[in-house]
Amino acid sequence: MESKDVSFLEQIQYIGKYLRPHKRILIFSFLLSGVSTALGMIQPYFAKILIDKVFIDRQSQILIPLLLALISLLIISFIIRVSNSYIYTLYSSRILFKMREDLFEHLQRIPLNFFTKRKIGDIFSRIASDMADVQALVTETIPHYLFNFLTCLITAMILFWLNWKMALLSLSFLPAALYIIHRIRPKIMELSRHVAESNADIAHFLFESLSNTSLIRAFGAETPECEKLKEKQSGILKFLLRYQIMGVFSGSVPTMFTVINTLVVFGYGGFLVLEDTLSIGSLVAFSVYQGRVFAPLQGLMDGFLVIQKSRVSLTRVREILDIEPVSTENGDHVPEDGAVRGDIAFKNVSFAYDENEPVLRNLSFQIPSGKITALVGPSGVGKTTICHLILKLFDPDSGQVTLDGTDLNRFRTGWLRKQITLVSQDIFLFHTSILENIRFSDPRASNEAIEAAAKAACIHEFILSLPDGYHTVVGDRGVRLSGGQKQRISIARSILLDPKILILDEATAFLDASVEERLKETIKFLMKDRTILIVSHRFSTIQHADKIIAFEKEGLVYEDTAEAYLNES
């Protein structure tokens, strides 16, 4: 995925669909910001009146009314600012939460081969870190930038009203400031991109290392792993230092303003007071207003750096959102009676994860309904890919996969996947209880149904032997359980779904012979007259199959009864 450098306005327009439902409240919030900023500008002008009218002209009768008016306006300004902050945070957070939810949902619908080509740490970084940057952009940077911009604009107008010549002299640094910003912007964008990518790489490294702590310790690789982290962090440090240097150049703009401000106020302004063409109150007010420009101006420069970084984060998020999702509802066909026989046929199917490395080539075979069919062959011939095509996790590049004579693309995908379930060798358990891990396939299942599924998977007795029974937390990826125990919980999860077609992809690899035999008998009983597809290298697993389909590197080499295959072997 290549990054595209688009304007900030284009990026804001990209999230316009999230902003539009709340546009009225956001416009109201921006108006409140303007009012609050304007009210915050009144104090220096009151100082001018106090100096010129009260202290110099001795008009003491207006002192109390002026103070009361000033305090009242400042309190109103504070209340408006707090209320506006609450309103804006509430709605901007809703917008960003919706964006993160949509991004996560989108990740569930994009092609699976995206995940095989990307580092999981990079994907996680985009969801967590980059989305946090985008959230900060909308909830913090933009409102602060708007406030600082309005403050500078209103202050500039007041300065011109007080003395336009002094105001022009004060703003004489702007051309140089704009030139500096123009020159450093591309470099900041590039450095921000490098920092984001380096952070994603570190996130992936940490994710991999922490997920394989036992392996690292088994090989005594703790020190090399720590050295790898140091090396990666040293790499990101050079980008951070360059980014900081760019920030120094950006920060030189307010410094230029301070120097010019001093010369204008105490030099030219003092001369005007001595010439009696400018009142002392006006000079004080001008000086205060000029001083008030410094902090917002610094905020604009800092905000510029943050916006450039956020633009990179938003671009990285967009790169995922721009991926065309796989249609989860290609068709709308559902059998009228909802019945599924379970006949599966591959007709001239070809498929490749990479265009230059086809996995299946013009493959044709049949998996009969109500029977046990075994797929056998060495690793890498495409057995697991066949299982994924039946589940419609991928679509064939050419050819057809049919169920009961109907192309899988015609079925409603959600309905189809309730008829077929896969128990894989690659088992994943969530960091929650055994009960919730089994219930994952059917969130509405009763405790009785879950126990029945566990009994069928020959894991019920073991669960009851645990101190917390079904409420035992299995740990991250089921780390507290053995391979066989995890496998049986995974099988229970699939049995709970009560599928018409059951696919076992090396699903009994970690089981001992006695447990495997009990489990096979139970599954045969539960799946009577239903389709079972077994992928296995173990003779004990395939010897009771009704049909065997064998593959080699060149493709299909055998399709017939198990008895004939075993006799040939």
Handedness of CA 283, 285, 289, 291 (dihedral sign): positive
Contacts of 382 (CB under 8 A, 6+ apart): 351, 359, 360, 363, 551
Please choose, from the candidates 234, 400, 215, 310, the residue with its C-alpha nearest in 3D space to the C-alpha of residue 14.
310
Residues 76-103 pLDDT 10s: 888 888 888 788 778 777 877 887 788 8
- Written as six digits, the tokens of 418 are 């309730």
Domain with CATH 3.40.50.300 in the chain: 344-568
| Cα separation values, 133 from 34, 93, 101, Å | 25, 13, 16
**In this structure, what DSSP letter does residue 473 have?**
B
pLDDT at 401: 92
Please choose, from the candidates 190, 189, 196, 277, the residue with its C-alpha nearest in 3D space to the C-alpha of residue 8.
189
Handedness of CA 258, 261, 265, 267 (dihedral sign): positive
Q: Mean pLDDT lowest for which of 296-305, 316-325, 348-357?
A: 296-305
pLDDT at 366: 93
pLDDT at 136: 74
Residue with token string 């299982």 = 387
Q: What's the mean pLDDT in 265-286? A: 78
Instruction: Please tell me the distance from the alpha carbon of residue 40 to that of residue 150, in angstroms, as a whole number.
Output: 11
Please choose, from the candidates 100, 302, 316, the residue with its C-alpha nearest in 3D space to the C-alpha of residue 198.
316
pLDDT at 67: 81
Query: Which of the four pLDDT bands, split at 50, 70 and 90, describes residue 346?
Result: very high
- Written as six digits, the tokens of 61 are 């009768």
Contacts of 427 (CB under 8 A, 6+ apart): 478, 483, 486, 487, 490
Residue with token string 């416009």 = 27
E strands present in 270-419? 344-354, 357-367, 372-376, 398-403, 406-407
The answer on pLDDT for 2 being more than 50 is no
Q: What's the distance, CA 158 to chain centroid?
A: 45
Q: What's the mean pLDDT in 420-449? A: 86
* CB 463 within 8 Å of CB 471: no
pLDDT at 349: 92
pLDDT at 250: 62
Of the two residues 214 and 369, the one the predictor is more confident about is 369
The answer on pLDDT for 435 being more than 80 is yes
CATH class, 344-568 region = alpha beta
Q: What's the mean pLDDT in 394-400? A: 88
Q: What's the mean pLDDT in 165-182? A: 74
Please choose, from the candidates 535, 501, 551, the residue with its C-alpha nearest in 3D space to the C-alpha of residue 364.
551
pLDDT at 249: 66
Fold that domain 10-321 belongs to in CATH: ABC transporter transmembrane region fold (1.20.1560)
Instruction: Please tell me the distance from the alpha carbon of residue 530 to that of residue 508, in angstroms, as a whole number.
Output: 19
Query: Which of the four pLDDT bands, split at 50, 70 and 90, describes residue 345?
Result: very high
Instruction: Please tell me the distance from the alpha carbon of residue 133 to that of residue 126, in angstroms, as a whole number.
Output: 10
Average per-residue pLDDT for the chain: 78
Return the exposure string of 43-77: e unless at least 16 CB atoms fall within 10 Å of the residue's CB, then b. Answer: bbbbbbbbbbbbeeeeeeeeeeebeeebeebeeeb
Q: Mean pLDDT lowest for which of 193-207, 323-337, 432-446?
A: 323-337
**In this structure, what DSSP letter does residue 333 have?**
B
Q: What angle do CA 157, 161, 162 make, to 5 degrees?
A: 120
Domain with CATH 1.20.1560.10 in the chain: 10-321
Query: Which of the four pLDDT bands, split at 50, 70 and 90, describes residue 348?
Result: very high
pLDDT at 248: 66
